[in-house]
Structure 1
Amino acid sequence: MTKRFDYLVFIGRFQPVHNGHLKLIHAALEHADKLIVICGSARQAVSPRNPFTLAERESMLRAALPADLQHRVFMLGCSDRMYNDQQWVTEIQSQVDKVIAVDTASLGHRAAEFSIGIVGSRGSRNAWYLELFPQWQRLEVDDEPGIDAQCVRDALFDAGGSRFDSCVAKLPPAVFDWLQVFRGGEVHARLAAEYRYLQDFRRSWAVAPYPPTFVTVDAVVIHSGHILLVRRRGMPGKGLWALPGGFIEQDEPIRDAVIRELKEETRLKVPAPVLAGSIRASRVFDHPQRSLRGRTITHGFLIELTPTGEGLPKVRGGDDADRAQWVPLFEFNRMETELFEDHFYIVNWFLGQI
């Protein structure tokens, strides 16, 4: 039977793969010869919201797919690009073009010569991104009722594990078995501890009349092709690299807060007036899902220090950081999986301003 599309594109996070994903994949393959699965958050550091690597999510998907469909499904990863939708769209378009080019290399055709569509859940509150691809005809599929990846993750990290057993009907059998093995590993233990920390953090303000909005600051300090990073001492994100920063105090202006946090966490041997005078740009970063602690809006500051002939200023970890280090920018660009929250994307936004 002739298919309506040569290729359909399915974008999701698959944290984890569940029966709703499989329903959509089977529906897509009824209308298309091939399906290109684009896996979001592909290079994020693991966390209770993103517990599985790209390779692990592909392993789950392959385990859940029937053998006769394997060759019709491609899976690739893309970064989130939180503060630049056009970069995100461009990366997905490029990924799709490369898949089709490789898949049809023997035919000598270009991607533009094939019918390409995009598939998504009908009525999903998270389907806004479909509007960013007007060149691809949309195929909408009804959601599988009663399945939510967040609920599965909550059950996965819940103490005792009894809630996870109830997820068996929501997951492909192979994925349920895969996750049972995952629950016995060190990564699960670490993420479960962080999940409990975050739950306790949220409970601490549960009596407020409405959820609070936290205000933080982050410093992007550049010196001679290097960026200043700190390694987090505690949860959340213990052991991940991050920008120097933190919560503002009740009695200080935001600009003063970023200088204070920078000095406290790095012991940077540069006078505060020099740091303030070296601020080149600032921006508010407010993605609703940027922090697992709750609604957290950060004010980022780009601080460019002028070389003095004395090399990089000495730094050492302090306060919430167990280490501070100058990192060459070319190395930083390979550290996406090691960065806390959205700090990789904050830095890349500022680097575009230099």
Structure 2
Amino acid sequence: MTKNMIFTPPAHPWPSDCDHDAIVLIGRMQPGMHLGHQELLERGLERAENVVVALGSCFRARSPKQPLRAVEREASIRSCLTDEQNRRVKFVYIRDYYDDQRWCAAVREGVQSVTGKNAKIGLIGHEKDRSSYYLHRFPEWKLFNELCVGGLNGTDVRALWFERDHERGAEAVLRTMLPEGTFDFLMAFKKLPDFESLRKQHYAILRDAEKWKAAPHVPNHSCGDAVAEFRDHVLLIERGGDIGTGTFAWPGGFLEPDETVIECAMRELIEETKLGILPEYLKTFIRDRELFDNPWRSEAGRRMSHAFHFVLDEAFAELSEGEFPFVQGKSDARRALWLPKKKLPSLEEYMFEDHHLIGDRFFHYA
């Protein structure tokens, strides 16, 4: 181990067949660690003195697929470990970028922050399906591709956790899938107000998916979003509706059959905020645009968003300093509000789906 290593010296010899300083385990582990994760972690500890758990999808708003904050996941995982294991396990938090190059760089940087530059790193995981492609994005780390443990996955854990009609039976099954610490944490979380909101959103997504079951192919929905800027402030809405309730978002919605994506973004902006401007005039203030089409960006299905950046300083130039165009939340927006652009980074954990990254595309703050 090198001098600049942050890890403390090992208290006992490593396994004789391993010469790695640390093993990396990457995963979202939502909602918490199941027995498969625990087995991978313990196998990692058999191969190196330390394991670095790189928690994925961090710094996001709560949602049915991402119900727990990173600090909550770490706490629940640590509750499943012995004191000696806790000493040897480190955590780094990784956000989603929907950009492999940025994401891999963030993982490497996070791991290096706790191992030092010259550590010999291994990577442990289970290649279950296409979503496991990331295991091959780190060729410099030896890959330990492990067998699946019990066929467990987070999707089934979340479905049982949210189960409403047969709650007691679902909890009994969960006990067989989770370490005691994870189970106790999830049962305690059920008593919090956030849980019922997440459960309602879970069932709303299931109802929406049911509508499309008879479709001959997976539906691909197009949306338009409007990123409106005025004097270093941006226009956000607080979402109502069944999905993403209470999160902040850029005004936007589904493309209608008889409109272009630009028309969609402008219509949604005016409908949801009551911004007083004619579409024909609004269109002249488009400064940039981007397509957001990552297949996993929305929990509610395949949704592609065409985002447009509007700079409205000239459109409302008659307003005095400190005045802003009148806005009011309408349609499925609880409210609409102007916020200083500099506050956007602090709203990351309160933004709907990938809307934090939509803002970052135009304002470069993440």
Q: TM-score scaled by structure 1? A: 0.91
Alignment of 1:1-354 (within 5 A): 1-2=13-14, 3-15=18-30, 16-82=32-98, 84-100=99-115, 111-159=116-164, 160-161=166-167, 162-307=169-314, 308=317, 310=319, 311-352=323-364
Aligned residues of 2:24 and 2:121 also touching (Cα < 8 A): yes
Q: Report how many aligned residue pairs link the two structures.
A: 342
Per mean C-alpha deviation after superposition, the further-off stretch among 129-138 and 42-51 is: 129-138
Give the deviation of 1:314 after TM superposition.
Answer: 2.0
Letter of the 1:314 partner, please give it: F
Q: Distance in 2 between matches of 1:147 and 1:227?
A: 43
Q: Distance in 2 between matches of 1:11 and 1:254?
A: 37
Q: Distance in 2 between matches of 1:231 and 1:5?
A: 48
Letter of the 2:155 partner, please give it: Q
User: Residues 78 and 169 (structure 1 numbering): CA distance in 2 closer, same or farther, change over 3 Å?
Assistant: same
Letter of the 1:22 partner, please give it: Q
Give the CA RMSD over aligned residues: 1.8
Give the deviation of 1:167 after TM superposition.
Answer: 2.2
Per mean C-alpha deviation after superposition, the further-off stretch among 344-353 and 218-227 is: 344-353
Q: Distance in 2 between matches of 1:122 and 1:293?
A: 25
Aligned residues of 2:20 and 2:121 also touching (Cα < 8 A): yes
User: Residues 122 and 201 (structure 1 numbering): CA distance in 2 closer, same or farther, change over 3 Å?
Assistant: closer
Give the deviation of 1:306 after TM superposition.
Answer: 2.9
Give the deviation of 1:50 after TM superposition.
Answer: 0.7
Aligned residues of 1:152 and 1:164 also touching (Cα < 8 A): no
Give the deviation of 1:123 after TM superposition.
Answer: 4.8
The aligned counterpart of 1:104 is: none
Q: Distance in 2 between matches of 1:31 and 1:169?
A: 27
Q: Distance in 2 between matches of 1:13 and 1:297?
A: 23
SS at match of 1:317: coil
The aligned counterpart of 1:108 is: none
Q: Distance in 2 between matches of 1:181 and 1:85?
A: 35
Letter of the 2:135 partner, please give it: L
Q: Distance in 2 between matches of 1:184 and 1:114?
A: 43
Quote the sequence identity (%). 32
Structure 1 gaps, min length 5: 101-110
Q: Distance in 1 between matches of 2:211 and 2:194?
A: 26
Q: Distance in 2 between matches of 1:87 and 1:313?
A: 36
Structure 1 stretches (4+) deviating beyond 4 angstroms? Answer: none
Aligned residues of 1:230 and 1:317 also touching (Cα < 8 A): yes
Q: Distance in 2 between matches of 1:125 and 1:335?
A: 31
Structure 2 gaps, min length 5: 1-12
